[in-house]
Structure 1
Amino acid sequence: MHVPPVYRRWVTCPEPRPQASLRLFCFHFAGGDASAFRLWTTQLPASIEVCPIELPGRATRRSEAPITRFPELLDKLANMMLPFIKQRPFAFFGHSFGGITAFELTRWMRRNKAPLPVHLFLSACPALHLRQQPAPRISHLSDTAFLDEIAARFGTPREVLASEDVRAEVLPALRSDALVAESYHYAPEPPLEVPISSFGALQDPEVSREEAEAWRHQTTAGFRLRMFPGNHFFLATQRRKLFQALLEDLAPQFP
């Protein structure tokens, strides 16, 4: 298969699986990068080709200028992904900030009559119609105050955010993603004809069970809520249980 250059930039594929029946596009959390899904590429079945998204301004794309406005991010990402969503069935998985991206990308695909995912997985992400009042802005704060706010909102250990490595590697991406989040505004649209699975955590200070459950109002094609042990970053600690949930919910699409 010919692999366009974009396959190593916006859309990454650490382990190409040309015979896979499904592509799973994974959208990272704020300040994160495609490496958050590194183990997914080898630990999910061969029938699934895992394609983590890598946004500019971080990790392998650190030398590129970050995007700081959500509408620009959505349009660029959608157009970069179009060649890949037309090749085979696909699903979206987004964690936290990545959940917003996955949800709005699905609605962009519908508005533009592009193929839709067979399933939408939204993890540690509140139903956006419940949060139409924006959270207080933090992108303008000093480094210390900014990281204090991140720790308070998401339960990130302060000793982690205080490390020099985090400040050097993660802080620039966190700030650009904060600007993107602050430019996002939810607009009502009809529910999607795409099944939605919502994953929450029992000790998440940022997303309540009720906010995770309210995603059921954004679909007419089936909904399931699962709550996992842990905090906002249960993505790493509950990986095996997440895999089991993904496979269970994808099974009706591939009997």
Structure 2
Amino acid sequence: MLVPPVYRRWVTCPEPRPQAKLRLFCFHFAGGDASVFRLWARQLPAFMEVCPIELPGRATRRGEPPITRFPELLDKLASMMLPFVKQMPFAFFGHSFGGVTAFELARWLRRSGGPLPVHLFLSASPAMHIRQGPPRPLSHLSDKEFLKEVASRFGTPLEVLYSEDFRLGVLPALRTDALVGESYQYAPEPPLDVPISSFGAWQDTEVSHEEANSWRLQTTGRFQLRMFQGSHLFLSTERPRIYKAMLEDLAPQFQ
């Protein structure tokens, strides 16, 4: 994929594959960045071109002002991705709040008359329509209390969160994403005519089995729930099994 410089900041492509039949856009979890999917570009089959999304205020875009409100982020992200979703069939993969972003981006494309993804992969993401209200806000907390709450919700060891590398490299982006999440509001719309695969983890205390399973109500197409071992951030430990599940679920469209 030839990526014009203006887009290289938002839509990355670690390994361009001109002969690909499917473009997989990947959305990272809160506090993450595009490097979360670095190995995916090499390890997934040649028919897939992996395009991780890089948001402002982190990693290679650390010097840019972050966007802290979800509606603004969604509109900007959609406008920057629109040229790429028109070029070939595409799918979305999002982990944690990245899954919510992927889902809302698909609905944005439908409202705008744009092309829809051939598949949505929503990993460690709660179906927001069944949540009674937003999670407790985090953004107002001191760094110490903020990190304690993150450890409690997502199972990340405190020694990792308190490390200097984390505080300098990840904490600013994580605080930005907390603001983004707090500004998100689910609005009812008809189900998408897009197959959905929901990936959950048995030890995830942040997203219940019911919340992962309830994505089935957001599609008129095929739905598949798959449960993995691990806690909320099972993305790296279960990567080979995630690949296998994705390829199985894409098989009806890419035999």
TM-score, normalising length from structure 1? 0.99
**2:251 aligns to what SS in structure 1?**
helix
The separation in 2 between residues aligned to 1:98 and 1:6, in whole angstroms, is 22
Kindly report which structure 2 residues correspond to 1:27-176, keeping only aligned pairs within 5 A, or say none. Answer: 27-176=27-176
Q: Could you say which residue in structure 2 is the equivalent of 1:206? A: 206
The separation in 2 between residues aligned to 1:105 and 1:26, in whole angstroms, is 12
Does 102-111 or 131-140 show the bigger shift? 131-140
The separation in 1 between residues aligned to 2:200 and 2:76, in whole angstroms, is 29
Give the residue type in structure 2 aligned to 1:169.
Answer: G
Q: Could you say which residue in structure 1 is the equivalent of 2:25? A: 25
The separation in 1 between residues aligned to 2:132 and 2:217, in whole angstroms, is 15
The separation in 2 between residues aligned to 1:20 and 1:51, in whole angstroms, is 12
The separation in 2 between residues aligned to 1:193 and 1:31, in whole angstroms, is 31
- Give the Å deviation of 1:136: 1.2
**Alignment RMSD (CA, Å):** 0.8
Does structure 2 conserve the Cα–Cα contact (< 8 Å) formed by 1:201 and 1:228? Answer: yes
Does structure 2 conserve the Cα–Cα contact (< 8 Å) formed by 1:7 and 1:13? Answer: no
TM-score, normalising length from structure 2? 0.99
Give the residue type in structure 2 aligned to 1:51.
Answer: C
**1:51 aligns to what SS in structure 2?**
strand
Give the residue type in structure 2 aligned to 1:15.
Answer: E
The separation in 2 between residues aligned to 1:63 and 1:133, in whole angstroms, is 34
The separation in 1 between residues aligned to 2:3 and 2:218, in whole angstroms, is 34
Q: Could you say which residue in structure 2 is the equivalent of 1:239? A: 239
Give the residue type in structure 2 aligned to 1:109.
Answer: L
- Change in Cα spacing, 1:203 to 1:3, as seen in structure 2 (3 Å) is same
**2:25 aligns to what SS in structure 1?**
strand
- Give the Å deviation of 1:135: 1.1
- Give the Å deviation of 1:5: 1.2
Q: Could you say which residue in structure 2 is the equivalent of 1:190? A: 190
Does 4-13 or 117-126 show the bigger shift? 4-13
Give the residue type in structure 2 aligned to 1:55.
Answer: L
5+ residue gaps, structure 2: none
- Residues 53-89 of structure 1 show CA distances to partners (whole Å, capped at 9, x for unaligned) of 0000000000000000000000000000000000000
- Residues 197-252 of structure 1 show CA distances to partners (whole Å, capped at 9, x for unaligned) of 00000100101111100100000011000000011011000000000001001111
The separation in 2 between residues aligned to 1:63 and 1:132, in whole angstroms, is 37
Does structure 2 conserve the Cα–Cα contact (< 8 Å) formed by 1:132 and 1:185? Answer: no
Does structure 1 conserve the Cα–Cα contact (< 8 Å) formed by 2:7 and 2:80? Answer: no
